[in-house]
Amino acid sequence: MKVLGILGSPRIGGNSDILLEQALAGAKDAGGEVEKIVLSKKKISGCLDCGKCNETGVCAVKDDMLEIHKKILEADVVIHSVPVYFWAMTSQMKAYLDRWCAFFDAEWTLHKAYRPKMKVKRIGLITVCGDPNVSTADPIVHSFKNTCQFSGLKLLDVVQASAAAKGEIANNEVVKKKAYDLGRKGAK
């Protein structure tokens, strides 16, 4: 099983990163082949809605997302980990998600060539917010749930956590275990 981890926080070693590492450790322990992509280290512009990918299935914006598109297609499981910024996902994660546009044709149907790979793909989501109420991240969950439903992808468990200071989540054994189990389940 190929498990791709996508970090949407620019804070390396922060809470989302710690939980993503937990998930990838779980996936690895279950025999998965894991890889992590840190979006803030990549050049990913926003979708231009130029429509070129509707015909070709390949994004016209020549940046690091082209390689990430390929990695998404190759992965069996893609686990995203992202903090809440102003009641939404970070700009890094939003730019990445908008660029999923390339998987679709003009009717918003998955390109035929991608269907076999997309239909069997499973998606994981981890959210972190500073607010003690983890449901502050629900708009992000809503976005991923609908994207999965729309694309015919299966959404694995969602793990929602609360922590503010950098690395604070390391003390939360319960949520770390949930993230680990998410990765383990994904790689099985």
The reply on whether position 57 binds ligand FMN by CB under 6 A is no
List Cβ neighbours of 1 (8 Å cut-off, separation of 6 or more).
27, 30, 31, 32, 33, 76, 77, 186, 187, 188
| Other Cβ atoms closer than 10 A to 165 | 9
| Other Cβ atoms closer than 10 A to 15 | 28
Considering only 13-21, 37-45, 103-111, 176-184, which stretch makes contact with ligand FMN by CB under 6 A? 13-21
CB 54 within 8 A of CB 109: no
Q: Which residue number is nearest to ligand FMN in terms of Cβ?
A: 14
C-beta of 80: minimal distance to ligand FMN in Å? 12
Q: Which CB sits closer to ligand FMN, 81 or 151?
A: 81
- At 14, give phi and psi (nearest 5°): -85, -165
C-beta of 15: minimal distance to ligand FMN in Å? 4
The reply on whether position 87 binds ligand FMN by CB under 6 A is yes
C-beta of 172: minimal distance to ligand FMN in Å? 11
The reply on whether position 41 binds ligand FMN by CB under 6 A is no
Alpha helices in the chain (DSSP H): 15-29, 52-56, 65-74, 91-98, 115-119, 138-151, 173-187
- What CA–CA distance (Å, rounded) separates 169 from 5? 18
The reply on whether position 92 binds ligand FMN by CB under 6 A is no
| Span 111-140, contacts to ligand FMN by CB under 6 A | 128-131, 136
Considering only 25-33, 47-55, 77-85, 107-115, which stretch makes contact with ligand FMN by CB under 6 A? 77-85
Which residues contact ligand FMN (rule: CB under 6 A)? 9, 11, 14-17, 83-87, 128-131, 136, 163-164, 166
